[in-house]
Amino acid sequence: MPPKLDIQQGTLALMILRTLDVLGPLHGYGVARRIEETSGNRLALNYGTLYPALVKLEQQGFVTAEWRPSDNNRRAKYYALTPAGRKQLARETREWNQTADLIAAFLAPRPEAS
């Protein structure tokens, strides 16, 4: 099994927003499990990191949260994407793709000088 990777600065919010965009409202545990599954279990989320990120996204107006029963009939806080969150997801996705393209240009093999 490959070693677990650290999440790079600024990517957790993007992963949370994308997860909620794809799957709809989820509780924090569900968000964490889905991110880990999507990563092929190469990421292990620390709940001390996940929940503050969810609270920050809620304070920024990118997600809403409401208490409701979970699948096992326990109270859980469910998070959902807002219209502002969809715009933020589009913005962060665009910025991430631009950054990835830039880094790829630096990592690409250079042609041999003659």
**pTM, to two decimals:** 0.87
**Which has the closest alpha carbon to 49: 93, 10, 85?**
10
The answer to whether 57 and 13 have CB atoms below 8 angstroms apart is: yes
pLDDT value for 24: 97
Residue 48's pLDDT is: 86
Q: What is each CA distance from 32 to 16, 26, 75, 79, 96, in whole angstroms?
A: 8, 10, 17, 12, 21
Q: What is the mean pLDDT of each run of 10 residues along the chain (114 residues)?
A: 68 96 96 94 87 95 95 93 98 94 91 66
32 contact partners, CB below 8 Å, separation of at least 6:
45, 47, 50
**pLDDT computed for residue 33 by the predictor:** 94
Structure-token pair, residue 92: 């962060």
Q: Which two tokens stand for residue 57?
A: 């996204």
pLDDT at 71: 85
Written out in words, the top-level CATH class of the domain with range 11-107 is: mainly alpha
pLDDT for the residue 114: 57
**What is the domain partition of the chain in residue ranges?**
11-107
